[in-house]
Amino acid sequence: MSYQVPDQNLVIETSIGEDDVQFYDVRREPFEVYGLYRYRTEPDFKRMPDDIAVQVSDGVAKLARNTAGGRVRFCTDSQYVAIKAEMPVMCLMSHMAFTGSAGFDLYIDSPETGMSRFWKAFRPSIDAKGGFESKVKFADRKQRWFTINFPSYSNVRNLYIGLQRDARVGEGMKYRSPLPVVYYGSSITQGACATRPGNAYQNIISRELGLDFLNFGFSGNGRGEDAMIGYLAGLPMLAFVSDYDHNAPGTAHLAVTHRRLYEAVRAAHPDIPYLMVTRTDDYSAYYELRLDNRQAVLDNFRFARERGDRNVYYLDGGEIFRGPHEDQCTVDGVHPTDIGFSLMADAIGCALRQALMKNSI
């Protein structure tokens, strides 16, 4: 294992209260950032290239700079881990915890078992502007492996990790495959309204299956535009999850773009698992539209199967929240609580696990 020598030229102003702190830029080795576009060279963390995002829509151009799905992994024997985040946009919303929209959270990874367990959240103060600092301390000093999840609804320009100056710093735990699972969808896909980023359903699935992923959830802007379809189809991927029922302006639009997205991804990736998910929210409102949209997705699934595709899967999102905790699954009838996200992770993760096992992955 390689360890990084501290960059003595990196001077970061801090008020975390540790005399022996040394900061590291996560863009530099041995830190590795997952889920974000060309993070070592781009001046701001983002999920896709600016020129493509602008072609899709103004909304996607803005939201693509939210760091949903971003993660940094590393190991160290420091007794504390601090962060200093420079954040030009910190999104505060009435229906979502600030720890989820603008906070980071830390997990301890186990290379022996492949599992990751939540430890603490890095919480911004409610009046934070332009970024924040936070620190997590441990009872003892020993080698640990970490994953830190980026915020779901804020922009991050720079992220620095603060460790003891004499600490060893090395590579983080690796995922099972170099290829990511790609998710496309709406605000729910982006992570609204998880109380912290690690509770978004893709992060839960990633920890349970040991797989990397890319999050292309865009609040109110998951509409299957041609530029987005072309970009998604061109990405290397292990599997694809289509979850954008919510944002279609109408059933006819959904039917056409859903088919177009499937055909583009399948043409570029003939053998990967392709999962189609319908909306999870309350069917009591706009009942006919909900049913019509579900039918459009189901028709596309049947189209794929009739063409001989045996690696395409359908998941009825309307069934995911049904059960004893149904009333606790959303904040506002649409966006999931942590309970709702856990149920989504169970359902979508199970479907992915079975599909990947079928493909011997």
- Chain segment 136-180, per-residue pLDDT in tens: 999 999 999 999 999 999 999 999 999 999 999 999 999 999 999
Does the pLDDT of residue 244 top 50, yes or no?
Answer: yes
- Where exactly does CATH 3.40.50.1110 map onto the chain? 181-358
pLDDT digits (tens, 9 = 90+) for 36-92: 999 999 999 999 999 999 999 999 999 999 999 999 999 999 999 999 999 999 999
CB distance 7 to 28 below 8 Å: yes
- Which residues lie closer than 8 Å to 110 by C-beta, 6 or more apart? 116, 117, 145, 173
Confidence of residue 7 (pLDDT cuts 50, 70, 90): low
Burial class (CB in 10 A: 0-12, 13-18, 19+), 153: buried
Closest CA to 189 of 295, 63, 300: 63
What percent of the chain lies above the pLDDT cut of 90? 89
- Rounded to two decimals, the pTM is 0.96
Mean pLDDT of 207-234: 98
pLDDT at 360: 75
Cβ contacts of residue 269 below 8 Å, gap of 6+?
233, 237, 240
Tell me what pLDDT residue 288 has.
79
pLDDT of residue 2: 45
Mean pLDDT of the chain: 95
Query: What is the architecture, at CATH level 2, of domain 21-51+67-171?
Result: Sandwich (2.60)
Of the candidate ranges 25-29, 221-225, 256-260, 325-329, the one whose mean pLDDT is the lowest: 325-329
% of residues, the chain, pLDDT over 70: 96
Instruction: For domain 181-358, give the CATH number.
Output: 3.40.50.1110
**Where in the chain are all domains bearing CATH 2.60.120.260?**
21-51+67-171
Rounded Cα–Cα distance for residues 61 and 155 (Å) = 12
